[in-house]
A and B are shown apart, each in its own frame.
Chain A
Amino acid sequence: MTGSEVRSPSHIYTRNSTGPDTWLQFDCEWRPAIPWQPYGITIGDYGGFNFIYITAGHSNMIYKLYHDLDTHQFIFIKSWECLGNPTGISNDNLFLYVVCSSDNVVRKFDFEGTQIDEWGFPDTQGLGGPMNNPTGIAVL
């Protein structure tokens, strides 16, 4: 992917723009250079860093970002394709688990985007019946 951009607070944020900080203090924001519709997010906490994984449903993509705490920027790392309108995403510190709402499939990736496994449609027996628009997932 090219054309990602990073915005820091100095560009877009003034303290008074949304009133005084109460509980949440704005730090930074990020948008990719191409349209997306982010839906699910999970934090991969490994190697001493926090990597952020975001599903972008209609664009069938998963984005990997890094939040630089020192520079207050989201750093785009990579993205990869995930078919089936990915919505919910979770991880167990080893793998990413994504539910896809249009093809009703659970997909399992490593943290670099290599798909390890998938299950669901058309084999719905293992889930006690076919899923219909799964949106959330959590893994223990």
Chain B
Amino acid sequence: MPYGPKPGTCGYGIGNDPSRCLPDDIIVTCDTEVIGPGSVITWEWHHDAYPWNCNFDLMYAAYVENYQTGLWSVSWELIFDNAWFGIHGQPIPGKPGWRGGVVTLSESSFIGFQTGEQWYNSFPLGGGARFNPGGLWPTHVAVSACGYFMWWKYTIWGDIDGNEEPTYANVHIIACDDSYDKFGNYTGGVLPGVTIHLYDANWEWGGYNQTAVTDVAGRAIFNNVPAKGVSYGYYGYPVNGYNSCPQVEPYYPGAGYCYGSGHWGTGPLLRSSEFWCPYSKNTGPDKPPGPDEPPDPGEPGCLIGEPRRGPSGTTVQFRSRLIPTKDPDPDAWFIRWHWDFGDGTTSTAQHPTHTYNEVGFYTIHHTGDDTNGVTVSCETGAGYIKISNKPFSYCFVGRPRTGRAPLHVKFEALWNVSRSGAITYDWDFGDGSPHGSAEKLEHTYTSPGTYTVTLILTNAAGSSTCSVPAYIKVCDWGPPTAEFVGEPREGVETLAVTFTDLSVGCICKWEWDYGDGHTLIHTACDSKSDYVNKVVHVYEYPGVYDVTLKVTSGGIDGYMQTLCKNDYITITQGACAPTANFSGQVGELGPRSDTGVDGSPPLTVIFKDETPYATVSTSSIVKRTWNFGDGTPEFVVTGSPAKTVAIHTYGRSGTYNVTLEVKNFAGCGHRLVKEAFVVVGGPGKGVIFICDSNNHRIIKCKDTGEYILAWGSYGSAVGQFSYPTDVCISANGSVLITDMNNSRIQKFDADGKYLSTWGTLGTDPTKKEYVSPIAIAIDVDGHFIVSDLITNVISEISNLGTPLNQDGGPGDKPKQFKGALGVAVDSWNQVYILDAQNDDPEHKRGRIQGFKQLR
């Protein structure tokens, strides 16, 4: 699926929303459906930006939906070859996947280059993230780069807790370029009125220099080729004559090496940018290897030949991409080149062309002498250039392959070699219908049956046939019948059971529920995977398990049938098994309980493994798996018998079952579920605290109005107040009071016993200074959000009173306040501020502002 140069306008914040891209933008989405155990989906985008090109703001996003529960990880790798660049990456906060999980981007949060610095060597950058299957996992990396060659590789890995079973999801990957969204909003790139210089000092092409000023859309036009702007203010590279600019090179019509105004310029993606859709290593790509094709050695990186395939008489354009040594001259370049084309001929040109007249597979050897006096060499793998007069290797794909009649199938010829010359296609669909003659076409099967599909491809060199028996299966109307057997059905814990699907019908989807909390979804009709009739599941813990298989037939209104076999698998406990137990307590001060805990959200619970002999000798627990029951990922601790504690914060109200699975040193395990162990929210404890402001006291009463106690009096000593205005309760039950006119926050226990004071009079909240703290709330992390009536600064304070973050200030713009009277935090950790006196000039009224917390 090649993509050519398309000037585009898509920008910062594309996230998972390709609709933000303009129609002429480069937008790539790829879907896959099955990710195998431990396998990867690899998605690559090559920016062959030779000789110099500056691409920036290339947006990549990936998200996963229809996921199967389990852990996923995403990693990416971006390689610049002979490039200097800046790069920064950031995930998108506020999206469901972000909210729900733990996302960390390692490395590359920002890597800039020094002024004039060059990277002559390949420089891989690695990043990784791990996320919860929150229905959406966005990753978003904005790239600013100038260089020879950029290679983007996206890897998504999925598995269910390492059980080595196929994992199901639809994975979408999006890419687009440039810095404007479809609304024309500037989102991170060039501004209007910026001068951009394109410069080419390559003597080979006579040099080139052109200047343009960006228009209101932030685009500069060079030679009628729209350049997309500048990046983030990186200073230009001093011209030394080493670089050539593709601006004057007809083969690469994009803008090239460019500098000026303290910025880097850029050009459109060059025509040789290519894209390959993801494939699963488990199921393999759809492209079968050609019968005459040796393995492709891949691109060596140090040279380019194009085309690499063709019949005898093919002329190949070679381009040198050698990298000079840096020492002692960091600005070294090449002064001599030598090429061995593998057929007994050579050249000393920098970018030679060569015509291959003989059939064969050729290895290219290339060297260059740089100004340091060093000879740099490069050799491709065998068969880098393939000259063959035989017909092309090919095959095809059709989707869907299974379904009820009438079945509409989209066929497409697939290639693994380059195409040239006139080609004809002859499709035989196997059902006696007239043949098709297009590269892509649709065909409708009207009758049930199993059909062989044949594609005959013909060019000047001859013809070749690709035929796949039983490629299409068309079924009768009617529901499928679900059936399966499992073997063995009984055994000691950690038992591997093989389930064999015996279902009958036109089935496209199998959904297994093994009864122990693990599931498996497998699809075949529309995916690249084939039918799998045997699946293996390992039961780790003793118990009697129901097993369910749900089968769904093809078609939009496909039939479903579910078969549940009760008590089908029996797993017995090993002789050495431990007896799991655990307790919980709310906060560090709460009582420890074996039966359950409760409290208001956010509720932080400290769980403790109470399994007997958990930490001694051969009974030591070497694996603990905690399931907190609120949909968050399981917390697994391995190899650390002493790590008996797990801490979890519940952000939302609800009743939660908690599960602890333990495995001891001998390999025996036990699983304990305590139902309704954690109750968050609910009816509460019926206790109310009131700031009786003008009486300078705090009242504690029941929610029926029955008085319990009161404390405080007017003054500035500890335990006294001067107009206390707001109260909130910490995760461990402490009572925090905004003591407004004393410019402080006081902390008490629930009975009014003084605990501590945070803050003094001042305007620097980073030093615990406040003027009139008027409102306070607690967030999901247990931190406190405080608003100051006078400074209008919003502060985040740790549960120990340490200033963490500050934001806001006076004004009437967003995130500015005039009288920030109220503050609240929801269970998504979003902050709400009542901006009471911030009157709209037109309407005269206050407002509420909502914020996401960035960390």
- Chain A residues packing against B (C-beta within 8 Å): 9-10, 12-13, 17-18, 21-43, 45-46, 50, 52, 54, 65, 67, 69, 74, 88, 90, 92-95, 97, 99, 101, 106, 108, 117, 119-120, 125-129, 131-140
Contact = CB atoms under 8 A, between A and B. Distances in A.
A33 B733 CA distance: 39
A41 B832 contact: yes
12 contacts: A18-B814, A24-B794, A26-B815, A26-B849, A39-B821, A46-B653, A52-B832, A92-B686, A127-B692, A136-B690, A138-B729, A139-B688
A118 to B, nearest CB: 8
Interface string B150-190: 00000000000000000000000000000000010000000
Contacts of A140: 600, 684-689, 729, 733, 750
Given A18-B814, A30-B847, A67-B850, A137 B690 contact: yes
Interface in B657-675: none
B585 interface: no
A140 B778 CA distance: 13
Contacts of A90: 688
B735 interface: yes
B830 interface: yes
Contact of B834 (A39, A46, A125): A39
Interface of B: 93-94, 183, 600-601, 652-653, 681-695, 699, 701, 703-707, 709-710, 724-729, 733, 735, 737-738, 750, 775, 794, 796, 805-808, 811, 813-816, 821-828, 830-832, 834-837, 840, 843-855
Contacts of B690: 88, 99, 106, 127, 131, 134, 136-137
A137 B727 CA distance: 6
A40 B684 contact: no
A40 B691 contact: no
Nearest to B737: A136
A88 B699 CA distance: 14
Contacts of A134: 690-693, 699
A65 B701 CA distance: 29
A25 B852 contact: yes
Contacts of A133: 692-694
Contacts of A50: 826-828
Contacts of A12: 814
Contacts of B826: 43, 45, 50, 52, 67
Nearest to A27: B850
A18 B727 contact: no
Given A10-B183, A134-B691, A139-B687, A41 B824 contact: yes
Nearest to A32: B845
B846 A131 contact: no
Contacts of A138: 688-689, 727-729, 735
Contacts of B814: 9, 12-13, 17-18, 26, 29
B822 A93 contact: no
A135 B691 CA distance: 6
A96 to B, nearest CB: 11
A81 to B, nearest CB: 18
A106 B681 contact: no
B688 A137 contact: yes
A117 B702 CA distance: 13
Which of A22, A117, A140 has the most CB atoms of chain B within a 10 A radius of its CB?
A140
A51 B794 CA distance: 22
A62 B551 CA distance: 52
Contacts of B830: 27, 67, 69
B853 A23 contact: yes
A54 B828 contact: no
Given A136-B726, A136-B727, A74 B848 contact: yes
A73 to B, nearest CB: 9
A83 B581 CA distance: 53
Contacts of A69: 94, 828, 830
Contacts of A120: 705
A100 to B, nearest CB: 11
Contacts of A108: 703
Contacts of A40: 821-822, 834
Given A54-B822, A54-B848, A18 B707 contact: no
A29 B816 CA distance: 12
Given A18-B816, A22-B807, A136-B725, A27 B851 contact: yes
A45 B707 contact: no
Contacts of B691: 88, 99, 134-137
Given A36-B846, A45-B681, A117 B704 contact: yes
Contacts of B847: 29-31, 38
Nearest to A40: B822
The list of the 3 closest CB pairs from A to B, nearest first, reads: A119-B705, A92-B684, A136-B691
B705 A43 contact: no
A13 B816 CA distance: 12
A95 B687 CA distance: 12
Nearest to B696: A132
B88 to A, nearest CB: 13
A1 to B, nearest CB: 13
A87 to B, nearest CB: 9
Nearest to A31: B847
Nearest to B809: A18
A126 B707 contact: yes
Contacts of B775: 136
Contacts of A10: 183
Nearest to A12: B814
B682 A93 contact: yes
Given A25-B852, A50-B827, A126 B701 contact: yes
A31 B846 contact: yes
Contacts of A13: 814
Which of A13, A27, A33, A125 has the most CB atoms of chain B within a 10 A radius of its CB?
A27
A114 B93 CA distance: 37
Contacts of A27: 94, 830, 849-852
Given A24-B854, A45-B827, A67-B830, A135 B725 contact: yes
B817 to A, nearest CB: 11
A70 B806 CA distance: 26
Contacts of A24: 794, 805, 807-808, 815, 831, 851-854
Contacts of A88: 690-691, 726-727
A74 B850 contact: yes
A139 B682 CA distance: 12
Nearest to B816: A18
